[in-house]
Amino acid sequence: MTSPAPTPSPGAPGSDIPAVSVTPGGIATTTLTVRNDSDIVEGYGLEVVGECAAWATVEPARVSLYPGTSETVTIRLEPPRSHEVRAGELPLAVRVLPTEHPEAVRVPESTVRVEEFRQLRAEIAPRRRRGWLRGRYRLALRNEGNSPVTLGFTPAQPGEELRFTVKPAEQKLEPGESAEVGLRARIGKPVWFGTPVVWPFTVAVAETEEPGAERPEPADAVHTPLDAEFVQIPVFPKWLLAVLAALIALLLAWFTLVRPAVRSAAKEAADEVVQQRPTPGADEQAGQTGSGEGKPGGGSGSGGAGTGPGAGGGDGTGTESGPGGSGGAGGQQGSATIDVQTAGGTDKTGTYTVPAGKVFQVTDIVVANFQGDEGVLTINFGERKITTIALETFRNQDYHWVTPIRIAANDTVTAQVTCAKPGTPATGRRAQGCHEVLNVSGVLSSTR
């Protein structure tokens, strides 16, 4: 004999289980009454099926009923607080399976309303930005609630010196969705000098209300402002000001101390040369030679012989050109050339020696630095230092005296070169060593 199927009670199919509402993270219960209308003892297994099955249970999950008896079971609903449990109405169904007559299975249904909850994660990165006039930030957003939200952003700064731009101005997020929003903070005036200025500000992130929508204020909506800072750095930092001040101090020291001392030393050396007077013997010889002795000769010919590298120890050479015309009784115009070539970083001296029995009265010298070498050139007449000049300050230099400088027989004219750096001649290729030429002109007279 086939027993009738169990009869869920009360109500008709589709309304056997009372409807219930539940908030994710909370607990709600409803009931189901099972009745055995058969004439045998029957056992029933109960199981929740459908979308709610993952977080709904029946207590007890199995009942045994005598004929004509019934029992009410509890359906326990515990949805997790997760964006995966979407807000809205979900079907709730319980499968009632008889043990002796499984073909008489029944599935009573009802409805579960899942309430909304808000849970938004918002961060600003970086928390601090440095710049002259503007800084860029990112708002990282994630909707961890179970319903869509539309968010708005409100930057604020106490003094209102900063101006803000948010793109996009609003951001809609579905449950479980993430997004980034750009934020730019800008200030109108730069800081030229001094220390950095810190401008703190906040960004409020909140859900915007649609026109005409009425919904209760969610307890966990984001209204706590996000804190950030814009550090405005000066255009000219402190270390640059210190460097500029040091450079200005050095320039002032140069113009007030070093440069006048250099000019004074050069002037004293020039005055010493100009104010030199010949010995009485030289004056007599100058009177005998006539007015032509005061000027350099022009022309070449055979004359007194010059010597090569002299006692100065250098590798330069000295040559003498003969008279170009009469310089007066007992004297004739002439000149000597000293050619000094030396390698970089070394000192060398070129020498010309006045012949025995002669007196050389110098009126003009010309120095040639045609390569543009760098270093120092020192010119001596005998034991007398005439001048010391820096090579990099000239290419051609000449000196002239109205009163001749007397160089006695067997005395020397020396050109000492200290080569710091060879220059670049007109060929365009840097020279291997320094090369200087000194030409000395005057009147070469006999002492007899």
Q: Assess whether pLDDT exceeds 60 at residue 311.
A: no
Question: Which residue did the predictor score with more confidence, 220 or 225?
Answer: 225
Q: Decide: 125 and 96 in contact? Cβ < 8 Å.
A: no
Residue written as token pair 């007398």: 384
3-state helix, strand, coil in the chain (%, to 5): 15, 45, 40
Q: Which stretch of 13-17, 106-110, 236-240 has the lowest confidence by average pLDDT?
A: 13-17
203-206's contacts with Cβ under 8 Å and 24+ in sequence apart are 203/124, 203/139, 203/153, 203/154, 203/155, 203/156, 203/228, 204/153, 204/154, 204/155, 204/156, 205/120, 205/122, 205/139, 205/141, 205/151, 205/152, 205/153, 206/151, 206/152, 206/154
Q: From CA 414, how far away is CA 397, in angstroms rounded? A: 16
- pLDDT-derived band at 163, boundaries 50, 70, 90: very high
Q: Assess whether pLDDT exceeds 90 at residue 270.
A: no
Highest mean pLDDT among 141-145, 295-299, 342-346: 141-145
Q: Which stretch of 204-208, 337-341, 362-366 has the lowest confidence by average pLDDT?
A: 204-208
Q: From CA 437, how far away is CA 316, in angstroms rounded? A: 9
pLDDT (average), residues 406-423: 92
- pLDDT-derived band at 430, boundaries 50, 70, 90: confident
Q: From CA 284, how far away is CA 113, in angstroms rounded? A: 136
pLDDT on residue 447: 83
pLDDT (average), residues 21-38: 94
Q: Decide: 408 and 362 in contact? Cβ < 8 Å.
A: no
Residue written as token pair 């961060």: 123
Q: Assess whether pLDDT exceeds 60 at residue 300.
A: no
Closest to 111 in 3D by CA, of 63, 51, 62, 60 = 51
Task: Give 102's contacts (C-beta < 8 A, 6+ positions apart).
Answer: none
Q: What element of type H or E holds 226?
A: strand 226-232
Q: What element of type H or E holds 270?
A: helix 259-274
- pLDDT tens across 362-380, in order? 999 999 998 899 999 999 9
Provide the CA 306 distance to its chain's centre, in angstroms: 65
Q: Assess whether pLDDT exceeds 60 at residue 308.
A: no
Q: Which stretch of 118-132, 267-281, 357-371 has the lowest confidence by average pLDDT?
A: 267-281
